Structure 1
Amino acid sequence: MDKINPDHYKTGGIETIDFIKAKLTEEQFKGYLAGNVIKYLSRFEHKAGEVDLQKARWYLNRLLIDKKNRPVIYVCSPFRGEVEQNIKRAIGYCRYIYSQGGIPLAPHIIFTTFLDDEIAEERKTGMEMGLELLSKCDELWAFGDRLSEGMEKEIAEAERLGLRVKRFNLRCQPRGVGAGDA
């Protein structure tokens, strides 16, 4: 279970944070986000420690995302197996993110233009560089009907960083949020 954004916050097809945002003015919502950053930072030494710091970061990330016009979204999708089909799908996922107002970043597509995924050391290097880029992103969107081992690592790192994680099926329809919805 995701301690930063538990599953019970995601029931009903809408995240609680999105519901709250819809009910507040832009200024009120910024105040809500900033208030939660302050709340979790002020209590982390006395209550939930690292979890509270991660929650503070999550709210801060949301505050920063809402200040940007276009969030950078990490594309998390399968690569191995049906490589050609998976590349075409990843390009489609990038197009979908673009259509939703985001800036897609698909390291597994970019890096395999010069790294060989079949060579263990190059695959490892590509994964490490992808995780480094993930820390620069605002969100991670995972696509597909199953999670590969590499995708699970990316999602776990995104959650550790306090990033927003969204799940979609092959047709870019929402599936839920977080790694537990495989």
Structure 2
Amino acid sequence: MKRPLAYITAPWGDNEFENTENAARYCRAVYDSGFSPVCPLLFLPLFLKDKIPQEHKDGIDMARDYLRRSHVLVVCGDTVDETVKNDIATAERLRITATTLDGILTVKGQGRGDGD
């Protein structure tokens, strides 16, 4: 079964370790719900240097491209910051469904009619 792409966004903090743990947990929950999670926070910092202005801009552009290719935007975490607001606005403009992690888990609990 081909899984639809789900872009993961959240209000990431300053603690890289905590961000990575949270992102991995969010991705696992989305994966368990039948989606292919896409979370740029988990892989872009592996090769981009955010302190270099051009690479910072490239990271933003790549993340937006992943969002454009996604079937759904999943908003995780308890708060909404500017990055999350921008992701929601981009999804809205592109007519991409935006939901919360709880929304994805609720759908999973109701079943998708595909034998889960």
> Aligning the two structures, in what range does the TM-score lie when normalised by the shorter sequence?
0.7 to 0.9
> Could you tell me which residue of structure 2 aligns to residue 35 of structure 1?
none
> Could you tell me which residue of structure 2 aligns to residue 124 of structure 1?
57
Instruction: Write the distance in 2 (CA, Å) between the matches of 1:148 and 1:116.
Output: 22
Residue 131 of structure 1: how far off its partner (Å):
0.4
Matches within 5 A, 1:78-89: 78-89=11-22
Matched pairs, number: 103
Cα deviation per residue 1:109-167 (whole Å; 9 max; x = unaligned)?
21111112333432221011110111111001010111222222111111110011012
Distance 1:155 1:141, change over 3 A: same
State the TM-score, normalizing by the size of structure 1. Answer: 0.52
Paired letter, 2:66? L
Instruction: Write the distance in 1 (CA, Å) between the matches of 2:12 and 2:54.
Output: 16
Residue 84 of structure 1: how far off its partner (Å):
1.3
Instruction: Write the distance in 2 (CA, Å) between the matches of 1:84 and 1:120.
Output: 23
* Worse-matched range after superposition: 134-143 or 145-154: 145-154
Instruction: Write the distance in 1 (CA, Å) between the matches of 2:70 and 2:95.
Output: 11
5+ long unaligned stretches in structure 1: 1-67, 175-182
Q: Does 1:107 align with 2:59?
A: no
* Worse-matched range after superposition: 95-104 or 107-116: 107-116
> Could you tell me which residue of structure 2 aligns to residue 167 of structure 1?
100
Residue 87 of structure 1: how far off its partner (Å):
1.1
> Could you tell me which residue of structure 1 aligns to residue 24 of structure 2?
91
Secondary structure of the corresponding residue to residue 144 of structure 1: coil
Say whether the 8 Å CA contact 1:78–1:86 is kept in structure 2.
no
Larger radius of gyration: 1
Flag the structure with more relative contact order, 1 or 2, with Cα contacts below 8 A and sequence separation at least 6: 2
Instruction: Write the distance in 1 (CA, Å) between the matches of 2:13 and 2:55.
Output: 14
5+ long unaligned stretches in structure 2: 104-116
Secondary structure of the corresponding residue to residue 70 of structure 1: coil
CA RMSD of aligned residues (A): 1.7
